[in-house]
Structure 1
């Protein structure tokens, strides 16, 4: 297992950096380009292990995916039966989205690592079965076996019981090939990258609040599909900068889709001087530069439940920053954290306590009492969860300490080049 050593950060630095392409958009860009007619150039996608798992899977399915100087070229040609089991690695997004894309279209088996085998897939396979897809799983967990169907999938009306953009995406791309229009009702508003990209690629889709109605469609290739920087990655750097007095950080070209900026809203509520400048649009997605200055007096807040689905990936970062703010940070309605790469409620609380912070786990969330005098341990473990590794880096910055992060290879899942960018910033 690999270890990562981070030296104590230098407060008061000024830096302008970029983060890797948005992971959520990158997965969708590759998959939708494979389903589209024509050639799509994907510029600036995420090169992390999760997205590369999607690229490898598409190649195994016969899709022409080629690396180019600024990104990738994808020629949509449909799928063929793979000659071997498709390895999704640690990527739940890869497995769930492929389940929808492949349902009824091919004979295939999807598998992954030990962590992925513990993540629930019935939230996808159950509604796909209602559409007529034949699938087998291990009591709702990977591996998944998908069978080719003789007829197109049936259109359905379905209320999605969990707040999950992955589930909505899997069902929408399955419904594109159904024999009539389907309607899906979400229980909460989730990230809408799928809807934006499907519309940009010519899908017949109507969005009305939480209700999504889609008709059978043939997607069209996008000549240049530019992926903005990952706002989740940016938030971890912004939180570290907020903890360092005098630090001025600009993160350039970040996606600021309104369904992804809940963490930025919480940072502002905590008193962080955060600004969004140079707003523009890239392939139906809003983009901006994010500016923050460290050292402001921060105060903790109760995170509204309505925001939780749209900051689920940033909760460890906010909890790490909360340790040095005044008052109490309370996050509820976040039980989804328990079925991430780790039980992220338990691993986050364990990490905070390792630094001497006052934190406790709830059934569906986390409570952090701020104003702590942090003491960095010599080393911490990620439990195989990249978000825990990034949160450890924030805590090290907040305690002005060096840290060794053990089993750190998982951090390349979403943030390739993390060490280089961290050192540029701090």
Structure 2
């Protein structure tokens, strides 16, 4: 089945001769994908959104977690305008939402504005140029994009004149093994391991057990704090924090100097529980083997073997490029970020607040009119904030509208700190 929205739009994609009425395709109905929809709608550019699950499905998996950024950084300004026009009330800007509140108070009302353009339970399994594979160059720029989409009723083909990939990296975790490989032992240990911040239901499995948390980003700290709360009710619970860093202090972040108070507070709280012995720390622990017996899990480094009941692995996420294979795209060899972004977001040099403003020019791919935005544009780098993604899609949609001046005038004001990770990402 082939599907496309025909329009009478005269808005051509810059630098191409293709203006055949196809809409822009947005992949992913999370915060950044929905913000892209808001900007396209404001500019009267036809679009559709495909989402493999429900709206904001990735956030639903961590809806119990409180963000560290207040509402003022979580709402796109054009989305705010569109919603306000319907009578929607902007949340108090200084309040900090949970994932569930982000969905209920903002993302669901925003998605409702695009009800006819959103196709949920539509998973993109491949993208190419129409009748043109990756190898062919002749007339490539004039060919529409062709999305092959798996739905509940079978395979569908959808066509577009531009692609905005806002699928993020959530759901594609990095392994516990320090070499970054998914080793067979870790795969076989799946019943004893989780790669997300545990829910209340999952926490009950850990009561009075020995649980290791692997990772040094804010996801790991969130998991540790939930285990500390569990230990108050089940004192026999043992918590071990495993990091690759030589100094645990390097994992605490900006503390009282962090311009996002909630983010700094996480580091201060976790430092207290380390210092009073509630949390046992293993520094410079590089995991080489993961093995599971019928009852326990073994984590082995070069110098030490640790036996635990369960492990929570919060070592970050990585992008999935599988459905891009027939497009001409590039990713940085180290970070897997969009290449021009890589030197701007290197986590060894930058925090969330020190990433330079960037837009369409930096996000531009070899394949014209194909863009990777949001957390996925950062690859494995953990320094992404939603406000950054909102500025990205503002610039990209301006370019697609032919407003080159607006596309090149990128500005971004973010809270700064010496160390910064995303609230539900982070690496070791």
TM-score of the pair, normalised by structure 1: 0.23
TM-score of the pair, normalised by structure 2: 0.23
Q: Comparing both structures, which one devotes a greater share of its residues to strand?
A: 1
Rg comparison, structure with higher value: 2
